[in-house]
Amino acid sequence: MRCTVFGTGYLGATHAACMAELGHEVLGVDIDEGKIAKLASGEVPFYEPGLADTLRRNLDSGRLRFTTSYAEAAAFADLHFLGVGTPQKKGEYGADLRHVHAVVDALAPLLDRPAVIVGKSTVPVGTAAELAVRASGLAPAGDAVEVAWNPEFLREGHAVVDTLRPDRVVVGVDPTRDGRAEALLRELYADLIAAEVPFLLTDLPTAELVKVSANAFLATKISFINAISEVCEAAGADVGALADALGHDARIGRRFLGAGLGFGGGCLPKDIRAFMARAGELGANQALMFLREVDSINMRRRTKMVELATRAVGGSLLGSTVAVLGAAFKPDSDDVRDSPALNVAGMLQLHGATVTVYDPKAMDNSRRLFPTLTYATTAIEACDGADAVLLATEWDEFRSLEPADLDGVVRSRVIVDGRRCLAADRWRAAGWTYFALGSKADG
Ligand code: UGA
């Protein structure tokens, strides 16, 4: 089959490469010429394990190409995926749909034969129906252009495997139409369906809502364990052991019960806020009031980390030297959007600490976003002369740090484990003062 993918960020680039991997002919489209040139030459403009191999293999086979030309894209296929970003609006909770609208407004006037526009971006419920009216109004083919919604559930760092072996494929269609969109998407995903990936057909608003509900649930699960973590800290209990015990209940499950610095990134934080905003517009805001608490529990983890750091350096950050290990919002990613690690580093600096940050992959993005922080080229260099070392993103490189690696490097042997990923006993046995979010503090 042939398809196009509009938007070549994390979502679009991965989707384009993976659809080609499934054997389809794919054209990736973006207005950013630099990005298109990179992708066309086999270079992924962000860090995503495994994506470069998939990209190159499919460029070489000729199944995958990239262009900036909407006219070429409109002529190439009748199945067009929307994979552009829907960031949080500046100063507001709602989602900014300008990129989605821009694609539809530029593409639809070029559609002169039946076509299906398939949304993958995360959008407020009701967007698909609105786009359907907009697209058929602008398209020479009129009503023969329809909109379907096929939300994406991939995680950064696991994007390729999540796309090729998803837990489910959700497809929302307009039930008053003739079934063409469903048939095309069943054909596109035939290999996944054959591999027994559940294919769930819904109407448009349900498909849009599945996506935001899934992210809201994941965020709620993390904030739930972080709320329990606050009680554990006060009561001297251990939230890790508690989460293990909870997780054995199959109804609860252990995943996403990782207590610590909480969630960040380009999805969970903005999605729960956009969900609340949209529910408010629909007059259903009371139903989602708890998400406000989910958000504030999450933000409290960051201030709690700053408080722990303050204790760790002896009561005042002013004039202290702090190493922050990690800048990406999670390991195996170079994404620093709404990163708890960088947020904490920024707060420490505001409180008068000299902060040096190191991350294995996210240094360029961090420098761009937080140019006033100091950056080191290795973890050891970041810890040089530190009064306290803060672990903010649980990269394997940091998990495998040995206390001896930092002896003679730091000024004080004090470590704050914001992701609960170090063996506390080993650090304590080596003479370190070990603090962790979710446990009663040493100091
Ligand atoms: C999330 C969802 O997991 C994906 O299913 C979804 O497709 C994606 O958003 C999206 O909407 O595009 P992602 O943002 O890549 O994926 O990251 P997650 O792996 O979900 O982690 C989110 C944040 O939660 C990270 O900051 C991570 O450190 C934190 N987290 C995760 C915890 O604090 N504790 C946990 O137990 C798990």
| Domain edge (last residue) among 180, 197, 214 | 197
ipTM for the predicted complex: 0.98
Whats the size of the chain, residue-wise?
443
How far does the centroid of ligand 1 lie from the alpha carbon of residue 157, in Å?
A: 10
Q: Are residues 84 and 182 in the same domain?
A: yes
pLDDT digits (tens, 9 = 90+) for 403-425: 999 999 999 999 999 999 999 99
pTM of the model: 0.96
Q: Are residues 265 and 232 in the same domain?
A: yes
Q: Are residues 178 and 242 in the same domain?
A: no
- Alpha-carbon gap, residue 144 to 415, rounded angstroms: 62
196 Cβ contact list (under 8 Å, min separation 6): none
Domain count, the chain: 2
DSSP codes, 299-366: HHHHHHHHHHHHHHTTS--TT-EEEEE--SSSTT----TT-HHHHHHHHHHHTT-EEEEE-SS-HHHH
The residue whose C-alpha atom lies closest to atom 30 belonging to ligand 1 is: 263
DSSP codes, 277-310: HHHHHTT-GGGGHHHHHHHHHHHHHHHHHHHHHH
| Domain edge (last residue) among 163, 197, 231 | 197
How far does the centroid of ligand 1 lie from the alpha carbon of residue 346, in Å?
A: 22
Question: Which residue in 123, 80, 292, 96 sits closest to 212, CA to CA?
Answer: 123
Ligand 1 atom nearest to 262, measured from its CA: 33
Q: How far is CA 206 from CA 82, 150, 170, 192, 263, in A?
A: 18, 11, 9, 22, 25
For ligand 1, pick from 51, 215, 242, 272 the residue to mutate: most ligand atoms within 8 Å of CB. Answer: 215
Q: Are residues 52 and 115 in the same domain?
A: yes
Pairing of strands 64-67, 433-436: unpaired
pLDDT digits (tens, 9 = 90+) for 259-309: 999 999 999 999 999 999 999 999 998 988 999 999 999 999 999 999 999
* Eight-state DSSP code of residue 95: B
Question: Which residue in 77, 79, 68, 152 sits closest to 106, CA to CA?
Answer: 68
How far does the centroid of ligand 1 lie from the alpha carbon of residue 115, in Å?
A: 33
Q: How far is CA 33 from CA 7, 68, 87, 91, 334, in A?
A: 12, 7, 21, 29, 21
The residue whose C-alpha atom lies closest to atom 8 belonging to ligand 1 is: 155
The residue whose C-alpha atom lies closest to atom 22 belonging to ligand 1 is: 263
Per-residue model confidence (pLDDT) at position 441 = 62
- Alpha-carbon gap, residue 56 to 147, rounded angstroms: 31
Question: Which residue in 305, 264, 306 sits closest to 418, CA to CA?
Answer: 305
Question: Which residue in 285, 260, 293 sits closest to 394, CA to CA?
Answer: 260
Q: Are residues 337 and 390 in the same domain?
A: yes
Q: Are residues 398 and 263 in the same domain?
A: yes
| Domain edge (last residue) among 152, 182, 197 | 197
Q: Which parts of the chain have pLDDT scores under 50?
A: 443
Encoded amino acid at 167, one letter: D
How far does the centroid of ligand 1 lie from the alpha carbon of residue 409, in Å?
A: 33
Q: Are residues 144 and 175 in the same domain?
A: yes
Residue 6 is inside which H or E element, if any? Answer: strand 2-6
How far does the centroid of ligand 1 lie from the alpha carbon of residue 428, in Å?
A: 31
Q: Are residues 211 and 188 in the same domain?
A: no
The residue whose C-alpha atom lies closest to atom 18 belonging to ligand 1 is: 155
How far does the centroid of ligand 1 lie from the alpha carbon of residue 174, in Å?
A: 30
Host domain of residue 82:
2-197
The residue whose C-alpha atom lies closest to atom 20 belonging to ligand 1 is: 155
For ligand 1, pick from 218, 221, 337 the residue to mutate: most ligand atoms within 8 Å of CB. Answer: 218
How far does the centroid of ligand 1 lie from the alpha carbon of residue 287, in Å?
A: 23
- Alpha-carbon gap, residue 295 to 223, rounded angstroms: 8
Ligand 1 atom nearest to 393, measured from its CA: 28
Ligand 1 atom nearest to 156, measured from its CA: 15
Q: How far is CA 368 from CA 213, 215, 232, 420, in A?
A: 32, 27, 37, 28
Ligand 1 atom nearest to 259, measured from its CA: 34
Pocket of ligand 1 (CB under 6 A): 122, 152-156, 215, 218, 222, 256-258, 260, 262-265, 267-268, 329-330
Residue 426's domain is classified under what CATH number?
A: 3.40.50.720
- Alpha-carbon gap, residue 293 to 338, rounded angstroms: 18
Catalytic residue numbers read 267
Kindly compute the dihedral angle of the four CA atoms of residues 269, 272, 277, 283, in this order, to the nearest 10 degrees. -170
- Alpha-carbon gap, residue 252 to 240, rounded angstroms: 15
Q: Are residues 208 and 96 in the same domain?
A: no
The residue whose C-alpha atom lies closest to atom 37 belonging to ligand 1 is: 256
Distance of CA 286 to the CA centre of its chain: 27
The residue whose C-alpha atom lies closest to atom 28 belonging to ligand 1 is: 330
Ligand 1 atom nearest to 152, measured from its CA: 7
First to last CA, the chain: 62
Per DSSP (E only), the strands in 105-183 are 115-119, 145-149, 169-173
Residue pair 7/103 in contact (Cβ under 8 Å)? The answer is yes
Instruction: Find the radius of gyration of the CA atoms of the chain.
Output: 24
Distance of CA 368 to the CA centre of its chain: 19
Query: What totals of helices (H) and strands (E) does the chain contain, helices first?
Result: 19, 14
Residue pair 73/109 in contact (Cβ under 8 Å)? The answer is no
How far does the centroid of ligand 1 lie from the alpha carbon of residue 227, in Å?
A: 18
Ligand 1 atom nearest to 258, measured from its CA: 36
Indicate if the alpha-carbon torsion angle 19, 21, 26, 28 is positive or negative. Answer: positive
Q: Are residues 16 and 145 in the same domain?
A: yes
Q: Are residues 152 and 244 in the same domain?
A: no
Collapse the DSSP code of 116 into the 3-class scheme (helix H, G, I; strand E, B; otherwise coil) and give the result. strand
Q: Are residues 368 and 424 in the same domain?
A: yes
